[in-house]
Structure 1
Amino acid sequence: MRIAKLDGLNVHYTDEGDPNGAPIVFANSLGTDLRLWDKLVPLLPAGLRIIRYDKRGHGLTDATPGPYSMGTLVRDAEMLLDHLSVKDALFVGLSIGGMIAQGLAVKRLDLVRALVISNSAAKIGMPEMWAERIRATREDGIESMADAVLERWFGKAFRATEELAAWRNMLIRQSVEGYAGCCAAISGTDFYTPTSGLRLPVLGIAGSEDGSTPPDLVRETIDLVPGSRFELIRGAGHLPCAEKPEDYARLLTTFIKETGHV
C-alpha cells in the first residue's frame, strides 16, 4: 500500500505500469474506492504509467471532518500529482471524479493534457437534493440508500449478478463523514463557465442506463469544450468501467492513441 502525506492528509494511491510511461490518472466516483478501475486497468495499452487514488473520505484515504469543498478535492489531486512529479497527464474522472478533473484542468493545465469526463457534468443535481442525501447519510446511514444507489449505478442485467453484493459492500463501508463531505462538494459545484473555457482534448463517456448522470446531462457538459467528443455505452449505468470494461477500454484506448498519449 502506498500512502502520500499531503498537507497532513494520508492519501492512498497506486502507481503501476511503466514508471517512465505517459501518465494516466483515475479519479473515482462517490461511494467507491480505487478498485472501481480494477477491470479496466489490465485492458489498457502497455507502456502507460497508471495512477489511481482514493479521494478524501473514501477507501483508505483519511476522512477529515466535513463538509468538503470541490476546491479542496481538486487541491488534493493537485498535491498528489506534484508529489509524484507528474506533468501532462491524461486525467480520467468519473462522477465526482469528473468534476475534480474539470477543476484540476482549469487550475493546473500543466498537469493535464487531455481529459475524460465520464458519467459526470459541470453541475450535478440541485442543492436541495444533496441536502437530503447528506441528512439521510448522517441520520440513517449509507445502507439506508444503498439499494436506490445501486439501481442508478448499474443496468438491470448486472444487478442480477452475484458481483452486485461486492459493490454494495464497498458503498456501505465508506466513511459517513467522507460520503457526506463529498456530497456537499458536489452540491456546491457549478463548473459551466470555467469548463467552457477549456481548450484541450476532451472525451465524454455516458451510460445509457445511468440514473445519476443521464446521457443528455453528460453531453451538455462535453459540448461546452470545442472539439470534444461524446460516446455512449449502451446497457451500462453510472459505472460503465466496471459494468462494461471492454467497451470502456476500447473508447479510452482510441482516445489515448488519437491524442498521442503513448
Structure 2
Amino acid sequence: METNGIDIHYYRTGNPDGVTLVLAHGLYDDGRCFAPTMAEFTDQFDVIAIDARGHGLSDAPSIGYTIDDRVADLAGLLDELSIDSPILWGHSMVGNTVACLAATYPTLPRTLVLEDPAGMLHGIHERASEERIFNVRELIESWHNQSCTALLESFEHEAWKEYLFHARRRVSTDVTEIFRNGYRRPSTTFSKITCPTLILRADVDDDQRALDRERVDRFDDARLEHVTNAGHCIRRDEFGTTVHLIRQFLSDSVETE
C-alpha cells in the first residue's frame, strides 16, 4: 500500500468480521516475525502485520526515519485500508511509534499493547553517538554478508529462526537513522494516551520496576505486567504467558462482537 510517499508492505489474515489487530515489529524484525503470534489470534480478530520502512518488503529510503515519519507511515496505512478503531500492538521501536500515534491521534486506536516499548527503557530515548550508529550499521552489514548457516545458528529461538533470518537479511542499513533521531520521552507521550493500554515489560530489577510504575501512572488507563524470565522480546522468550496476558487484557477491554 502506498502511503506517506513510500510503499508499505503488510500481511493480513484471520477473521474479516473481527476487530482489527495490527502487529508492528521492533527494530531489525519485520512483519513475518509475528507469524506464530498471528496464528494465536486469527480465530477472533482481523490480523495485520506490517513491515516498517527500511524493513522486510517495504521501501527503504535513505531518509524519513524520524518518529514523525514513522507515525505518519502507520497512520497513513490505517487510513488507506479504511481501518477504524484498531487494536495496535507495537514492540520496542514501534512500541514507541504506536504510543506516539495514540498520543497524536487519541481517538484512532481502540486499545494499545506495548511490548517493552522503546522510550520506557532506561536511557534509550537519548540520541545515539556516531560511534553507536557506525557499529549498528556494521552489524547489519554483517547479517547481509554472513553465510546462511552461520546466521541461522546465531538465533536461539528455534520456532523463530527462519523469520529472524529473512528479517536480518532484508533490513536496510539506513534504519540506523532511527538511532540518530532518538525516541519520544515517556513524559511527553504517555499522559496524552487515553485508550486502555497493556504494557508488557521485560524482567527487570526492582529499581527499574519502580521507575516503570511511575511512568505508567501517567496513563489514563494502563495495566503494567513485568514478565518473569523475559528479555526484550517478550513474546519470543515467554510465548504462552504473552498470549495469555494479551487475551485476558483484550477480553476485559475490547468489545469484539
TM band (smaller chain) = 0.7 to 0.9
Match of 1:184 among 156, 174, 180: 180
After superposition, residues 164-183 of structure 1 pair within 5 angstroms as 166=162, 167=164, 170-171=167-168, 173-177=170-174, 179-183=175-179
2:36 match: secondary structure: coil
The alpha-carbon distance between structure 1 residues 47 and 126, as it changes in their structure 2 partners (threshold 3 A), is closer
Displacement of 1:173: 4.2
Q: Which runs of 4+ in 1 moved over 6 A?
A: none
Unmatched tracts of structure 1, length 5 or more: 147-157
Match of 2:35 among 32, 35, 38: 38
After superposition, residues 23-172 of structure 1 pair within 5 angstroms as 23-44=20-41, 46-66=43-63, 68-122=65-119, 124=121, 125=124, 127=126, 129=128, 131-138=130-137, 140-142=138-140, 162=158, 166=162, 167=164, 170-171=167-168
Displacement of 1:245: 1.8
Unmatched tracts of structure 2, length 5 or more: 145-153
1:136 match: secondary structure: helix
Identity, % of aligned pairs? 26
Alpha-carbon distance in 2 for matches of 1:123, 1:209? 12
Displacement of 1:113: 1.7
Displacement of 1:165: 5.4
Alpha-carbon distance in 2 for matches of 1:63, 1:172? 13
Alpha-carbon distance in 2 for matches of 1:248, 1:238? 13
1:112 match: secondary structure: coil
TM-score (norm 1): 0.81
Displacement of 1:180: 0.7
Alpha-carbon distance in 1 for matches of 2:13, 2:157? 29
1:24 match: secondary structure: strand
Displacement of 1:141: 3.8
Alpha-carbon distance in 1 for matches of 2:214, 2:93? 16
Deviations 1:80-138 (A, max 9, x none): 00011111111111101111111111122232021111101435525354543312234
2:74 match: secondary structure: helix
The alpha-carbon distance between structure 1 residues 164 and 132, as it changes in their structure 2 partners (threshold 3 A), is farther
The alpha-carbon distance between structure 1 residues 163 and 87, as it changes in their structure 2 partners (threshold 3 A), is closer
TM-score (norm 2): 0.82
1:194 correspondence with 2:192: no
Match of 1:243 among 227, 230, 237: 237
Q: Tell me if structure 2 keeps the 8 A contact 1:201–1:259.
A: yes
Q: Which residue of 2 aligns with 1:149?
A: none
121-130 or 47-56, which moves further after superposition? 121-130
Alpha-carbon distance in 1 for matches of 2:93, 2:12? 21
Deviations 1:26-60 (A, max 9, x none): 11101100122112122226221111101111111
Alpha-carbon distance in 1 for matches of 2:118, 2:214? 8
> Aligned AA for 1:183?
F
> Aligned AA for 2:69?
T
Alpha-carbon distance in 2 for matches of 1:224, 1:232? 17
The alignment covers a number of residue pairs equal to 242
Q: Tell me if structure 2 keeps the 8 A contact 1:204–1:218.
A: no
Alpha-carbon distance in 2 for matches of 1:218, 1:16? 34
Alpha-carbon distance in 2 for matches of 1:77, 1:128? 22
